[in-house]
Structure 1
Amino acid sequence: MADPSLHSEPHLHSITNLNQITIDYTPEACTHTPSTNEISIVFDTRGGARWRSPSRYLHGTFSAKIQCPKGNTSGLNFNIYLSSLEGDKAQDEIDFEFLGKDKMIVQTNVYTCGNGNREEIHQLGFDCSDGFHEYEIKWGNDVIEWRIDGVVVRVEERKEGVGFPEKPMFLYASVWDASYIDEAKWCGEYVGCDAPYACLYKDVQVPACGYKEDS
Protein backbone atom coordinates (compact mmCIF):
# COMPACT_ATOMS: atom_id res chain seq x y z
CA MET A 1 0.00 0.00 0.00
CA ALA A 2 1.24 3.50 -0.84
CA ASP A 3 2.57 5.81 1.82
CA PRO A 4 -0.36 8.07 2.80
CA SER A 5 2.00 11.07 2.76
CA LEU A 6 1.83 10.94 -1.03
CA HIS A 7 -1.83 11.82 -0.93
CA SER A 8 -1.29 14.71 1.50
CA GLU A 9 0.69 16.63 -1.12
CA PRO A 10 -2.01 18.53 -3.05
CA HIS A 11 0.35 19.75 -5.79
CA LEU A 12 0.70 16.15 -6.98
CA HIS A 13 -2.87 16.28 -8.28
CA SER A 14 -2.77 19.65 -10.08
CA ILE A 15 -2.21 18.63 -13.72
CA THR A 16 -2.63 20.02 -17.21
CA ASN A 17 -2.32 18.82 -20.81
CA LEU A 18 1.16 18.92 -22.33
CA ASN A 19 0.49 21.44 -25.10
CA GLN A 20 4.04 21.82 -26.43
CA ILE A 21 6.94 19.42 -26.92
CA THR A 22 10.60 19.70 -27.86
CA ILE A 23 11.89 17.07 -30.31
CA ASP A 24 15.50 16.17 -29.58
CA TYR A 25 16.28 14.33 -32.83
CA THR A 26 14.66 13.15 -36.09
CA PRO A 27 11.78 15.64 -36.00
CA GLU A 28 10.38 14.21 -39.25
CA ALA A 29 9.69 10.94 -37.36
CA CYS A 30 7.70 12.62 -34.57
CA THR A 31 4.26 14.21 -34.99
CA HIS A 32 2.51 16.35 -32.37
CA THR A 33 -1.14 17.40 -32.67
CA PRO A 34 -1.84 19.82 -29.79
CA SER A 35 -5.55 20.15 -30.62
CA THR A 36 -6.12 16.48 -29.81
CA ASN A 37 -3.17 16.06 -27.39
CA GLU A 38 -1.69 13.26 -29.51
CA ILE A 39 1.95 12.45 -30.26
CA SER A 40 3.36 9.72 -32.49
CA ILE A 41 6.91 8.45 -32.91
CA VAL A 42 7.77 6.35 -35.96
CA PHE A 43 10.78 4.02 -36.07
CA ASP A 44 12.00 3.04 -39.55
CA THR A 45 15.18 3.39 -41.60
CA ARG A 46 15.60 6.91 -40.21
CA GLY A 47 15.86 5.47 -36.70
CA GLY A 48 13.43 6.64 -34.05
CA ALA A 49 12.89 9.96 -32.30
CA ARG A 50 12.72 11.44 -28.82
CA TRP A 51 10.43 14.16 -27.51
CA ARG A 52 10.37 15.91 -24.15
CA SER A 53 8.47 18.54 -22.25
CA PRO A 54 9.95 22.03 -22.74
CA SER A 55 10.04 22.54 -18.95
CA ARG A 56 11.44 20.61 -16.02
CA TYR A 57 9.24 19.74 -13.04
CA LEU A 58 9.98 19.08 -9.39
CA HIS A 59 7.48 16.47 -8.15
CA GLY A 60 3.95 15.94 -9.41
CA THR A 61 1.79 13.60 -11.48
CA PHE A 62 2.75 12.60 -15.05
CA SER A 63 0.61 10.37 -17.24
CA ALA A 64 -0.10 9.32 -20.80
CA LYS A 65 -2.26 6.82 -22.62
CA ILE A 66 0.07 4.79 -24.81
CA GLN A 67 -0.43 2.30 -27.61
CA CYS A 68 2.91 0.62 -28.25
CA PRO A 69 4.04 -0.38 -31.76
CA LYS A 70 2.45 -3.40 -33.40
CA GLY A 71 4.22 -6.33 -35.02
CA ASN A 72 7.55 -7.94 -34.21
CA THR A 73 9.23 -5.20 -32.15
CA SER A 74 12.18 -7.28 -30.95
CA GLY A 75 15.21 -5.10 -30.29
CA LEU A 76 13.28 -1.86 -29.79
CA ASN A 77 12.76 0.10 -26.60
CA PHE A 78 9.73 2.40 -26.29
CA ASN A 79 9.06 4.33 -23.14
CA ILE A 80 7.89 7.26 -21.08
CA TYR A 81 10.12 8.53 -18.30
CA LEU A 82 11.35 11.44 -16.22
CA SER A 83 15.00 12.52 -16.37
CA SER A 84 16.91 15.53 -15.11
CA LEU A 85 18.78 15.50 -18.44
CA GLU A 86 19.04 12.71 -20.99
CA GLY A 87 22.67 11.82 -21.61
CA ASP A 88 23.94 13.30 -18.33
CA LYS A 89 25.83 10.58 -16.48
CA ALA A 90 24.71 12.07 -13.14
CA GLN A 91 21.00 12.13 -14.00
CA ASP A 92 18.04 11.41 -11.76
CA GLU A 93 15.42 9.35 -13.58
CA ILE A 94 12.09 7.53 -13.10
CA ASP A 95 11.12 5.10 -15.89
CA PHE A 96 8.45 3.11 -17.63
CA GLU A 97 10.28 1.12 -20.34
CA PHE A 98 8.79 -1.39 -22.76
CA LEU A 99 11.15 -4.12 -23.93
CA GLY A 100 10.40 -4.97 -27.55
CA LYS A 101 11.11 -8.69 -27.15
CA ASP A 102 8.04 -9.13 -24.90
CA LYS A 103 5.01 -6.86 -25.19
CA MET A 104 3.32 -8.45 -22.18
CA ILE A 105 5.69 -6.80 -19.69
CA VAL A 106 6.97 -3.36 -18.71
CA GLN A 107 10.08 -2.42 -16.73
CA THR A 108 10.22 0.31 -14.10
CA ASN A 109 13.44 1.78 -12.78
CA VAL A 110 14.80 4.64 -10.67
CA TYR A 111 18.14 6.43 -10.99
CA THR A 112 19.79 8.87 -8.63
CA CYS A 113 23.01 10.65 -9.60
CA GLY A 114 23.38 8.24 -12.51
CA ASN A 115 23.03 5.10 -10.40
CA GLY A 116 20.22 2.72 -11.35
CA ASN A 117 20.11 -1.06 -11.01
CA ARG A 118 16.70 -0.86 -9.34
CA GLU A 119 14.79 -2.44 -12.21
CA GLU A 120 11.53 -4.29 -11.66
CA ILE A 121 9.59 -6.22 -14.31
CA HIS A 122 5.77 -6.09 -14.21
CA GLN A 123 3.39 -8.46 -15.98
CA LEU A 124 0.83 -6.35 -17.82
CA GLY A 125 -1.86 -8.96 -18.36
CA PHE A 126 -2.31 -7.58 -21.90
CA ASP A 127 -0.33 -6.88 -25.07
CA CYS A 128 0.88 -3.28 -24.79
CA SER A 129 0.27 -2.78 -28.53
CA ASP A 130 -3.37 -3.84 -28.27
CA GLY A 131 -5.09 -0.49 -27.68
CA PHE A 132 -4.34 2.40 -25.34
CA HIS A 133 -3.50 1.95 -21.65
CA GLU A 134 -2.69 4.65 -19.11
CA TYR A 135 0.76 4.81 -17.49
CA GLU A 136 1.20 7.21 -14.59
CA ILE A 137 4.06 8.31 -12.33
CA LYS A 138 3.34 10.13 -9.08
CA TRP A 139 6.55 11.61 -7.70
CA GLY A 140 6.41 13.12 -4.21
CA ASN A 141 8.94 14.33 -1.67
CA ASP A 142 9.31 10.91 -0.06
CA VAL A 143 7.53 8.37 -2.27
CA ILE A 144 7.09 7.42 -5.94
CA GLU A 145 4.14 5.48 -7.31
CA TRP A 146 3.91 3.84 -10.73
CA ARG A 147 0.34 3.11 -11.89
CA ILE A 148 -1.06 1.27 -14.89
CA ASP A 149 -4.73 1.87 -15.72
CA GLY A 150 -5.14 3.34 -12.24
CA VAL A 151 -3.64 0.35 -10.41
CA VAL A 152 -0.47 0.86 -8.34
CA VAL A 153 2.19 -1.58 -9.57
CA ARG A 154 5.19 -0.25 -7.63
CA VAL A 155 5.98 2.04 -4.70
CA GLU A 156 9.43 3.39 -3.78
CA GLU A 157 9.77 5.22 -0.47
CA ARG A 158 12.68 7.39 0.63
CA LYS A 159 15.00 5.35 2.85
CA GLU A 160 18.04 6.38 4.83
CA GLY A 161 21.22 5.66 2.90
CA VAL A 162 19.38 5.00 -0.40
CA GLY A 163 19.30 7.63 -3.14
CA PHE A 164 15.99 9.29 -3.99
CA PRO A 165 15.34 11.51 -7.05
CA GLU A 166 15.56 15.19 -6.10
CA LYS A 167 16.60 16.98 -9.32
CA PRO A 168 14.00 18.77 -11.47
CA MET A 169 13.15 16.54 -14.42
CA PHE A 170 11.79 16.68 -17.96
CA LEU A 171 9.14 14.24 -19.19
CA TYR A 172 10.66 12.24 -22.08
CA ALA A 173 9.52 9.57 -24.53
CA SER A 174 11.41 7.80 -27.29
CA VAL A 175 11.61 4.78 -29.58
CA TRP A 176 15.09 3.45 -30.30
CA ASP A 177 17.04 0.35 -31.28
CA ALA A 178 18.36 -1.09 -28.01
CA SER A 179 19.50 -4.41 -29.47
CA TYR A 180 23.16 -3.60 -28.73
CA ILE A 181 22.50 -3.39 -24.97
CA ASP A 182 23.76 -6.43 -23.02
CA GLU A 183 24.25 -8.46 -26.22
CA ALA A 184 20.53 -8.14 -27.05
CA LYS A 185 19.47 -9.77 -23.78
CA TRP A 186 17.54 -6.69 -22.65
CA CYS A 187 15.23 -5.96 -25.59
CA GLY A 188 16.09 -8.77 -28.01
CA GLU A 189 17.69 -8.84 -31.44
CA TYR A 190 16.33 -6.27 -33.87
CA VAL A 191 14.36 -7.94 -36.68
CA GLY A 192 12.52 -5.05 -38.28
CA CYS A 193 10.22 -7.17 -40.41
CA ASP A 194 7.16 -5.05 -39.53
CA ALA A 195 8.71 -1.58 -39.91
CA PRO A 196 7.65 1.17 -39.82
CA TYR A 197 6.74 0.97 -36.12
CA ALA A 198 4.53 3.66 -34.56
CA CYS A 199 4.26 4.37 -30.84
CA LEU A 200 1.20 6.51 -30.06
CA TYR A 201 0.75 8.79 -27.05
CA LYS A 202 -2.42 10.69 -26.17
CA ASP A 203 -3.85 12.64 -23.23
CA VAL A 204 -0.32 13.42 -22.01
CA GLN A 205 -0.55 15.26 -18.70
CA VAL A 206 2.06 17.01 -16.57
CA PRO A 207 2.02 19.13 -13.39
CA ALA A 208 0.25 22.45 -13.80
CA CYS A 209 3.33 24.35 -12.58
CA GLY A 210 6.81 23.82 -13.98
CA TYR A 211 10.01 24.23 -12.01
CA LYS A 212 11.31 27.80 -11.82
CA GLU A 213 14.84 27.59 -13.21
CA ASP A 214 17.47 29.82 -11.63
CA SER A 215 18.19 32.87 -13.75
Structure 2
Amino acid sequence: MKEHGQSDLDPAHVWVSPVEENEDQRSAAHALLLALARSLGGEGEVGHEESGRPVVAGLAVSLSHARGLVAVAASRRGPLGVDLESRREFEVDGMARRWFDPVELTWLRQQPDQLEAFLQLWTAKEAVGKALGRGLRGSGLRRVMPVDGATTVPSEPQLAVLRLPLQADAVLAIAVPVTTSEVRLTEHHGAALRSTVTSRTSFPVVVRGN
Protein backbone atom coordinates (compact mmCIF):
# COMPACT_ATOMS: atom_id res chain seq x y z
CA MET A 1 0.00 0.00 0.00
CA LYS A 2 1.34 3.44 -0.89
CA GLU A 3 1.83 6.06 1.78
CA HIS A 4 -0.19 9.25 1.61
CA GLY A 5 1.10 11.64 -1.05
CA GLN A 6 3.39 9.08 -2.66
CA SER A 7 3.06 7.41 -6.05
CA ASP A 8 5.22 5.87 -8.74
CA LEU A 9 4.73 9.15 -10.62
CA ASP A 10 6.53 11.26 -7.98
CA PRO A 11 9.32 13.20 -9.69
CA ALA A 12 12.99 13.09 -8.79
CA HIS A 13 14.49 16.44 -7.78
CA VAL A 14 18.04 17.68 -8.36
CA TRP A 15 19.40 20.91 -6.87
CA VAL A 16 22.75 22.40 -7.95
CA SER A 17 24.40 25.29 -6.13
CA PRO A 18 27.75 27.11 -6.28
CA VAL A 19 30.01 27.13 -3.21
CA GLU A 20 32.69 29.62 -2.22
CA GLU A 21 36.35 28.65 -2.64
CA ASN A 22 36.90 28.67 1.12
CA GLU A 23 33.65 26.81 1.91
CA ASP A 24 33.69 23.15 2.90
CA GLN A 25 32.01 21.33 0.00
CA ARG A 26 30.89 18.35 2.07
CA SER A 27 29.15 20.58 4.60
CA ALA A 28 27.61 22.66 1.81
CA ALA A 29 26.30 19.52 0.11
CA HIS A 30 24.78 18.26 3.37
CA ALA A 31 23.08 21.62 3.98
CA LEU A 32 21.67 21.72 0.44
CA LEU A 33 20.49 18.12 0.67
CA LEU A 34 18.77 18.81 3.99
CA ALA A 35 16.99 21.83 2.47
CA LEU A 36 15.83 19.77 -0.52
CA ALA A 37 14.73 16.88 1.70
CA ARG A 38 12.70 19.16 3.96
CA SER A 39 11.02 20.74 0.93
CA LEU A 40 9.78 17.23 0.07
CA GLY A 41 8.63 16.40 3.57
CA GLY A 42 11.73 14.49 4.67
CA GLU A 43 12.34 14.32 8.40
CA GLY A 44 15.46 14.36 10.55
CA GLU A 45 19.05 15.06 9.65
CA VAL A 46 21.36 13.67 6.98
CA GLY A 47 22.88 10.38 8.15
CA HIS A 48 25.21 7.87 6.50
CA GLU A 49 25.36 4.15 5.95
CA GLU A 50 28.61 2.29 6.65
CA SER A 51 29.47 2.65 2.96
CA GLY A 52 29.20 6.45 3.28
CA ARG A 53 25.93 6.63 1.36
CA PRO A 54 23.77 9.55 2.64
CA VAL A 55 20.44 8.73 4.27
CA VAL A 56 17.36 10.85 5.01
CA ALA A 57 14.30 9.22 6.54
CA GLY A 58 11.47 8.75 4.05
CA LEU A 59 13.47 9.65 0.93
CA ALA A 60 16.00 8.24 -1.51
CA VAL A 61 18.88 10.73 -1.64
CA SER A 62 22.29 11.27 -3.21
CA LEU A 63 24.90 14.01 -3.37
CA SER A 64 28.00 15.00 -5.29
CA HIS A 65 30.45 17.88 -5.36
CA ALA A 66 32.99 19.21 -7.80
CA ARG A 67 35.14 22.33 -8.02
CA GLY A 68 32.94 25.23 -6.89
CA LEU A 69 29.66 23.29 -7.13
CA VAL A 70 27.52 20.85 -5.17
CA ALA A 71 24.62 18.77 -6.44
CA VAL A 72 22.00 16.86 -4.44
CA ALA A 73 19.11 14.64 -5.49
CA ALA A 74 16.06 13.29 -3.69
CA SER A 75 12.83 11.50 -4.44
CA ARG A 76 10.10 9.67 -2.59
CA ARG A 77 10.84 6.62 -4.72
CA GLY A 78 14.33 5.23 -5.12
CA PRO A 79 16.95 4.25 -5.64
CA LEU A 80 18.76 7.16 -7.24
CA GLY A 81 22.26 8.52 -7.66
CA VAL A 82 23.71 11.82 -8.85
CA ASP A 83 27.22 12.73 -9.99
CA LEU A 84 28.80 16.05 -10.93
CA GLU A 85 32.15 16.74 -12.64
CA SER A 86 33.64 20.13 -13.48
CA ARG A 87 34.87 20.59 -17.03
CA ARG A 88 38.65 20.61 -17.07
CA GLU A 89 41.31 19.68 -19.59
CA PHE A 90 43.01 16.31 -19.17
CA GLU A 91 44.17 13.41 -21.33
CA VAL A 92 41.01 11.50 -22.22
CA ASP A 93 42.07 8.69 -24.53
CA GLY A 94 44.28 6.73 -22.13
CA MET A 95 41.68 6.67 -19.36
CA ALA A 96 38.92 5.78 -21.81
CA ARG A 97 40.93 2.87 -23.26
CA ARG A 98 41.66 1.60 -19.76
CA TRP A 99 38.14 1.73 -18.35
CA PHE A 100 35.53 1.94 -21.10
CA ASP A 101 33.81 -0.81 -23.05
CA PRO A 102 34.50 -0.99 -26.83
CA VAL A 103 30.94 0.19 -27.52
CA GLU A 104 31.53 3.24 -25.34
CA LEU A 105 34.94 3.87 -26.91
CA THR A 106 33.46 3.80 -30.40
CA TRP A 107 30.72 6.24 -29.39
CA LEU A 108 33.18 8.56 -27.63
CA ARG A 109 35.51 8.75 -30.65
CA GLN A 110 32.59 9.68 -32.88
CA GLN A 111 31.71 12.72 -30.75
CA PRO A 112 32.90 16.21 -31.76
CA ASP A 113 33.86 17.01 -28.14
CA GLN A 114 35.52 13.92 -26.68
CA LEU A 115 36.17 15.54 -23.30
CA GLU A 116 32.47 16.26 -22.91
CA ALA A 117 31.59 12.74 -24.04
CA PHE A 118 34.09 11.24 -21.57
CA LEU A 119 32.60 13.23 -18.68
CA GLN A 120 29.10 12.19 -19.69
CA LEU A 121 30.07 8.52 -19.51
CA TRP A 122 32.06 8.93 -16.30
CA THR A 123 29.29 10.78 -14.43
CA ALA A 124 26.74 8.25 -15.67
CA LYS A 125 28.83 5.38 -14.27
CA GLU A 126 29.24 7.18 -10.95
CA ALA A 127 25.52 7.98 -10.73
CA VAL A 128 24.49 4.38 -11.46
CA GLY A 129 27.00 3.08 -8.91
CA LYS A 130 25.55 5.38 -6.27
CA ALA A 131 21.99 4.30 -7.11
CA LEU A 132 23.06 0.67 -6.66
CA GLY A 133 24.71 1.53 -3.34
CA ARG A 134 28.08 0.23 -4.50
CA GLY A 135 29.76 3.26 -6.01
CA LEU A 136 32.42 2.17 -8.51
CA ARG A 137 33.39 -0.91 -6.51
CA GLY A 138 33.18 -4.25 -8.28
CA SER A 139 34.17 -3.03 -11.76
CA GLY A 140 31.70 -0.16 -11.71
CA LEU A 141 33.73 1.77 -14.27
CA ARG A 142 33.36 -1.14 -16.68
CA ARG A 143 29.57 -1.14 -16.37
CA VAL A 144 28.32 -0.20 -19.86
CA MET A 145 26.29 2.98 -20.10
CA PRO A 146 23.58 3.74 -22.66
CA VAL A 147 24.63 5.94 -25.61
CA ASP A 148 23.05 7.44 -28.73
CA GLY A 149 20.05 8.83 -26.87
CA ALA A 150 19.19 5.67 -24.94
CA THR A 151 18.59 5.93 -21.18
CA THR A 152 18.13 2.39 -19.83
CA VAL A 153 21.29 0.87 -18.30
CA PRO A 154 21.90 -2.42 -20.18
CA SER A 155 23.04 -4.44 -17.14
CA GLU A 156 20.53 -2.78 -14.77
CA PRO A 157 17.28 -2.51 -16.74
CA GLN A 158 15.43 -1.16 -13.70
CA LEU A 159 17.53 2.03 -13.92
CA ALA A 160 17.63 4.91 -16.37
CA VAL A 161 20.52 7.37 -16.50
CA LEU A 162 20.09 10.94 -17.75
CA ARG A 163 22.57 13.68 -18.61
CA LEU A 164 21.09 16.93 -17.31
CA PRO A 165 21.86 20.27 -19.01
CA LEU A 166 23.56 22.77 -16.68
CA GLN A 167 24.30 26.47 -17.07
CA ALA A 168 27.27 25.93 -14.74
CA ASP A 169 30.53 24.77 -16.32
CA ALA A 170 30.04 21.14 -15.31
CA VAL A 171 28.53 17.84 -16.43
CA LEU A 172 25.83 16.14 -14.36
CA ALA A 173 24.12 12.76 -14.54
CA ILE A 174 21.34 11.21 -12.50
CA ALA A 175 20.30 7.56 -12.26
CA VAL A 176 16.66 6.90 -11.37
CA PRO A 177 14.15 4.05 -11.64
CA VAL A 178 12.84 3.62 -15.18
CA THR A 179 9.31 4.24 -13.81
CA THR A 180 10.24 7.83 -12.91
CA SER A 181 7.84 10.23 -14.62
CA GLU A 182 9.89 13.41 -14.39
CA VAL A 183 13.19 14.87 -13.21
CA ARG A 184 13.14 18.45 -11.90
CA LEU A 185 16.47 20.25 -12.01
CA THR A 186 16.93 23.52 -10.10
CA GLU A 187 20.10 25.59 -10.45
CA HIS A 188 20.67 28.17 -7.75
CA HIS A 189 22.67 30.96 -9.37
CA GLY A 190 20.79 34.26 -9.16
CA ALA A 191 17.55 36.04 -8.40
CA ALA A 192 15.61 35.08 -11.52
CA LEU A 193 13.41 31.97 -11.71
CA ARG A 194 13.23 30.38 -15.14
CA SER A 195 11.48 27.17 -16.19
CA THR A 196 11.73 25.20 -19.40
CA VAL A 197 10.95 21.65 -20.47
CA THR A 198 13.15 19.62 -22.79
CA SER A 199 12.24 16.34 -24.47
CA ARG A 200 15.79 15.11 -25.12
CA THR A 201 15.12 12.14 -22.85
CA SER A 202 12.43 9.48 -22.77
CA PHE A 203 10.64 11.35 -20.00
CA PRO A 204 10.44 15.06 -19.16
CA VAL A 205 13.25 17.00 -17.55
CA VAL A 206 12.01 20.23 -16.03
CA VAL A 207 14.82 22.77 -15.71
CA ARG A 208 14.48 25.57 -13.18
CA GLY A 209 17.00 28.24 -12.24
CA ASN A 210 16.75 30.57 -9.26
TM-score when scaled to structure 1?
Answer: 0.27
Flag the structure with higher strand content. 1
Structure scoring higher RCO (CA < 8 A, sep ≥ 6) equals 1
Flag the structure with higher helix content. 2
TM-score when scaled to structure 2?
Answer: 0.27
